[in-house]
Amino acid sequence: MRDFCVNAPINSVSFGQVTLALLREIFSRGLEPCIFPIAEQIDLSSEDNVQEEFKSWLKSCIEKRHGKHRRDVPAIKLWHINGSLESVSEKQLLFTFHETDNCTEEEINICKNNKVVFSSAYSKKVFSEKGVDCNNIDLGFDSHNFKAKDGAYIKDKIVFNLCGKLEKRKNHAHVIRYWLKKYGNQKDYVLQIAVNNPFLKKEIFFQYLNEILEGKSYYNLNILPEMKKNSVYNDFLNSGNIILGMSGAEGWGLPEFQSTAIGKHSVILNATGYKQWANEENSTLVEPSGKQPIYDNTFFKEGGQFNQGNMYKFEEDAFIDGCEKAVEKFKANKINQEGLNIQKNFPISKTVDSLLEKIKDFE
């Protein structure tokens, strides 16, 4: 195994969660790469039961970077395209996520200056069609943080969960409105939403949420606060019966992926990154009805150098039909047996194997 280094965020948001899963696997193999935390930040606050050996290994790999690393050693960088022209190595493998159906000249140029792997075949196709030599590899299930737990959290109800940062791209407004129109104030159903967005001011977040609800209240709608520990988030995922994944532009869909993998039933939009892991056997698929511009003037701004293009949309009837089918599946079998197969089909070890195989191309 040739030397390599890792340049990635170590924090509690999705990129950081992927980084830590990869680093735990690298640690388990006895490898000791130099590690360059993006933004020089190290935040393990969301992690539960962190092994002291892992913490010591992480500290050692970070502290030695300036004294040991050489720029001819390949780097595995996990980051956004924006910010990846910069590199700690002459040989950088960029592992990145992209969501839209288009790529800009700036994104193309940055990718052409890296060896690039995306998290989905959808993104690979978007960039390949613009002349970028790239590949895609699958993410893996985080068995350290996510596990099935026995017991009903909300008894005698069918509980739907909705996750992800509140934004237009995730189609949250449509999902919430359509679900409440069908199931709102019905005693047999509950919708739990964990859509906190740390990049929005609290007043803006609640204003947007109130607009979605049109000022109405529902006794079977639970709006959950930020969950700062992975153990708490795991409890949340276990508290649901059906996970809703209807994002119109997704690089993978981590909460939906983890939920389905621990045996929850799922309603998933059959588009973009979801297609990497969701299929007719493990999920109830909803077909998109077309596309619309992704711009929201907050996270996606029209005319910018990055994140331009369209997202997928869906029809209300198709979504409700998916919910009804998922309810029937749950009634027939409370555990999604096909979903459990995700754990063995998508191990994090396979992701690390693929990344280490890719850096051999630099030899």
- Domains of the chain and CATH, by start: 5-140+347-362 (3.40.50), 158-345 (3.40.50.2000)
Does position 42 have pLDDT exceeding 80, yes or no?
Answer: yes
The first and second tokens of residue 111, run together, are 């990718």
- Summarize the confidence of residues 78-87 as an average pLDDT: 97
Mean pLDDT, residues 70-94 = 97
Is the model's pLDDT at 363 over the cut of 80? no
- What's the CA gap between 65 and 16, in Å, rounded? 19
* Beta-carbon contacts of residue 177 (< 8 Å; ≥ 6 apart): 212
Instruction: Give me the pLDDT at residue 49, please.
Output: 85
Task: List, for residues 313-322, the tens digit of each pLDDT value.
Answer: 999 999 999 9
Q: Quote the pLDDT of residue 154.
A: 87
Segment 225-247, tens digit of pLDDT: 999 999 999 999 999 999 999 99
CA dist 339 → 2, 105, 131, 303, 335 (Å): 36, 39, 36, 40, 8
Predicted TM-score (pTM) of the model is 0.96
What's the confidence (pLDDT) of residue 150? Answer: 84
Q: What's the pLDDT score for residue 1?
A: 62
2 pLDDT band (50/70/90 cuts)? confident
Q: Which among 260, 262, 267, 244 is positioned nearest to 192, based on CA atoms?
A: 244
b/e burial code for range 204-220 (CB count within 10 A of at least 16 → b): ebeebbeebbeeeebeb
Q: How far apart (Å, rounded) are the C-alpha atoms in residues 29 and 31? A: 6
Average model confidence (pLDDT) for the chain? 96
Sign of torsion, CA 295 297 303 304?
negative
Lowest mean pLDDT among 1-10, 18-27, 150-159, 181-190: 150-159
